[in-house]
Amino acid sequence: MTQLDVPQHAAENENLLWDTIVIGAGPAGLSTALMLTRGRRRVLVLDHGVPRNRFTDHMHGVLGHEGLAPGELRRLGRAEVEAHEGVFAEAEVASVTSVAGEDGARVQVMTKDGRGFRARAVVVATGLRDELPNVPGLRALWGRGVYACPFCDGYEHRDRPIAVLANGEHSDLKAHMLRQWSGDLVLLVNGSFALGEAEARSLVARGVRIERSGVDEVLAGVDGRLRGVRLADGRELELEAIFTNPSFVPLTGMLDGVDVRGPEHPESRVWVVGNAGDPRANVPVSIGQGAAAGGDIALALLMDEIAGAGRV
């Protein structure tokens, strides 16, 4: 059966054997799906509509799409995959299990609502969760003045009042980096790490102010965007942007106990792409990883087919 034989309502048929199931319809998963559908493979994309960058209205640094809304990229990507006969279903995946079906099934995917799907390969493109420092008001402004990535959001706030909200070691390095974007820069240590004297001198020498009073609250303006912070000693600082280092939690719980494709498990039919496997992957890198995985999977499926033909 080719991709073109996939029935209209294939996602409702749990007995179908898909060439590949892609979990996650973000830039990484859509890119894999586009490669594979263009390679005339039967692809099912499962997604539950909770992308990492849903907090922001504009993407930056994505070649050819500067300033595009993240949801618009997803919409365009989905339309392109559907135009090549990829199939989409709304589903939250609960588990991925390795199987060895006589028909070539290598992976079983179960959804939270109890549906099961079988495939010859699976791609986990589920992204990650950003865990932010525990400061009142901060999370509500995530993507609306509070950011992690200077390359994504620094340029729009160039030469404006910016803070780095420290969150553990290496926060001084983040402040040094943000100096590239603004000379009006303060490091809010907020008791999160011990800033050594030499490190403090180096920051001051590069024009970075250091604020050691704790941060009591991050403040929103009437427009719903960041206005500043209130410090523990009662002072308020006016700010246009805050950059911080969240902890990154990959959304790969469904893979517990499953071998993932890589040097140690070259035979595995489970690929992990985008932020699910690499917290540094921005949108273009995630698209690239997704496309590379699409090529790898097409080759792995082909090698299985050549080996199977030899056994007949």
Residue 11 falls in which region: left (phi positive, over 0), alpha (psi -120 to 50) or beta: alpha
Interface with ligand FAD in residues 79-138 (CB under 6 A): 92-93, 125-127, 130
Question: One symbol per residue from 253 to 292: x for binding ligand FAD (CB under 6 A), - otherwise; what is it?
Answer: -x-------------------xxx----xxxx-x------
Candidate residues 226, 251, 255, 300; the one interacting with ligand FAD per rule CB under 6 A? 251
Hey, which residues does 117 pair with through a beta bridge?
A: 109
Q: Is 226 in the site for ligand FAD (CB under 6 A)?
A: no
Q: Is 295 in the site for ligand FAD (CB under 6 A)?
A: no
Give every CB contact of residue 287 below 8 A, 6+ residues apart in sequence: 27, 28, 31
φ/ψ of 101, rounded to 5, equals -75, 150
Closest CA to 96 of 303, 302, 282, 261: 261
Q: Is 50 in the site for ligand FAD (CB under 6 A)?
A: yes
Q: Which is nearer to ligand FAD, 182 or 189 (CB)?
A: 182
219, 223, 225, 228: CA torsion to nearest 10: -30
Closest CA to 38 of 288, 298, 287: 298
Q: Is 23 in the site for ligand FAD (CB under 6 A)?
A: yes
Interface with ligand FAD in residues 24-43 (CB under 6 A): 24-29
Q: Which is nearer to ligand FAD, 2 or 247 (CB)?
A: 247
Least spacing, CB of residue 128 vs ligand FAD, in Å: 7
Residue 75 exposed, middle or buried by CB count within 10 Å (0-12, 13-18, 19+):
exposed
Closest CA to 45 of 85, 103, 101: 85
Interface with ligand FAD in residues 128-147 (CB under 6 A): 130, 142-143, 147
Which residue ranges make up the site for ligand FAD (CB under 6 A)? 23-29, 46-53, 55-56, 59-62, 92-93, 125-127, 130, 142-143, 147, 152, 251, 254, 274-276, 281-284, 286
